[in-house]
Amino acid sequence: MKIGFIGLGNMGAPMAKNLVAAGHDVTGHDIHAPMPDGVVAAISAAGAAKDADVVITMLPNGAILRAVADELIPAMKQGAVLCDCSTVDVESARAVADQAAKAGVLAIDAPVSGGIGGAAAGTLTFMAGGSDEAFAIVKPLFDVMGQKAVHCGASGAGQAAKICNNMILGVTMIATCEAFALADKLGLDRQKMFDVVSTSSGYSWTMNAYCPAPGVGPQSPADNAYKPGFAAELMLKDLRLSQQAAEAADADTPMGHLAALLYETFVESEGGKGMDFSAMLPRFEKRHRG
């Protein structure tokens, strides 16, 4: 397949490399990042999109997605698919899909879960929103870049699924870090706590697969001085998106709201920027009630 790839940063570069390794013809464009091995450089986003069967975007936010779409869509051939793998607001995803449809281009929003490690290993999960036709065209590429792709519904449904998933993730990580900090103050050994909780009703992905306590459970960023696998500022971005969506949908999400406020304080006032989102544990270790 002939693929255009726009946005070749920490996530996009390994995704594009996996597509090249699978034998696809990939032309890329990024205003900052270098081209990965095997990806042909284009001087513009439109140049990367020309004649492509699928154009994949991996961009920082909805405003940038809309701006890039303005350049991409007129350059794309009829029946090609614009597949946005960024995490953006639902409104932007739907606006770009509408714009694409008017130009005879298919669109699918397909944000990912799995982080930089999943991108490199080709084990991402894709949450896709769009038509059956668009999903069927892009599915073989999802199979190269990831281990699972779920067609969640119409345009915007992929972003909705990602936002809801990461709201749960942020809330659960905070609860896991709070519990470890409480266990410390109660004199409970962290390994013993893990042994109990990881096989009891407190089981969660943040405890069992991504434990925030160094030296406990499988290897995680906590064992690497909290260097980010998933940065705290990216969690803050996703939690803010969840609250933007909740406000638009008139949904009551008090835990999501509080998690957003806590990550905002951590990132903007407590040195959390550039650290993994599990670094909430040393934050809570230092704090007292009140």
CB burial string 259-286: b at 16+ within 10 A, e below = bbebbbebbeebebeebbbbbbbbbbee
Distance CA 207, CA 97 (A): 37
Q: Which two tokens stand for residue 91?
A: 């409104």
- By C-alpha distance, which of 139, 179, 171, 186 is closest to 263? 171
User: Does residue 19 contact residue 144 with C-beta atoms inside 8 Å?
Assistant: yes
- By C-alpha distance, which of 91, 100, 108, 102 is closest to 155? 108
Distance CA 191, CA 215 (A): 8
Q: Which of 2, 17, 139, 162 is catalytic?
A: 162
In the numeric block, the tokens 């990912």 are attached to: 112
- By C-alpha distance, which of 45, 43, 5, 50 is closest to 24? 5
- By C-alpha distance, which of 22, 57, 24, 63 is closest to 40? 24
For the chain, the straight-line distance linking the first and the last C-alpha, in angstroms and rounded, comes to 59
Is residue 2 among the annotated active site residues? Answer: no
Burial class (CB in 10 A: 0-12, 13-18, 19+), 90: buried
Distance CA 28, CA 242 (A): 30
In the numeric block, the tokens 């266990």 are attached to: 183
Give catalytic residues, as residue numbers.
162
